[in-house]
Chain A
């Protein structure tokens, strides 16, 4: 596609449920990033992929968070046993190399 695509755009879930967020990067972009943005806050780094490998997972808040990327394309961020503090917009971005990050519209997660 022309840009980074994320789904779902909005997700409301109950505390304790698992959620999966999907990111389709720009075709050919080898680097893929996940960030979390709480309301009115900054961009919190979660994880990035170079190809299918994740050299740096240091930003994942807890072991309830995991991410994978297959075929150097689609990535999935999974949050298990969601908590209310997980409520945020989860932004995905991709880049070709060291340079501009192209962001998706984000997935807004609300945990009740």
Chain B
């Protein structure tokens, strides 16, 4: 069945450094890969997504890369700021069903 592995589970970086979160998936039919950010006590919100017909997408300090052959995709946050501290979830969607990774708790130390 569908499965998404996400690493690391916890990531601590110094303000201004980069953060990278990686995910692998099993369903080769998936063609949509979103990333959600969930701040403490809040609902998850989409921050960036990528579809299978592109390999990379960037939005200001956030970028996502996708390798369909290897079935993995990554989130890159550059110049991290304290407000980037949150839990980040990768996800895959196949046939309208969205499955999430276990999440990465990112701490950005000022």
Contact = CB atoms under 8 A, between A and B. Distances in A.
A74 to B, nearest CB: 19
Contacts, number: 49
A103 B45 contact: yes
Interface residues on A, range: 20 to 34
Interface residues on B, range: 20 to 34
Contacts of B96: 31, 48, 50, 55, 98
Interface of B: 1, 31-32, 34, 36, 43-46, 49, 89, 93, 95-103
A101 B46 contact: yes
Contacts of B102: 41-42
Contact of A105 (B36, B43, B93): B43
A45 B46 contact: no
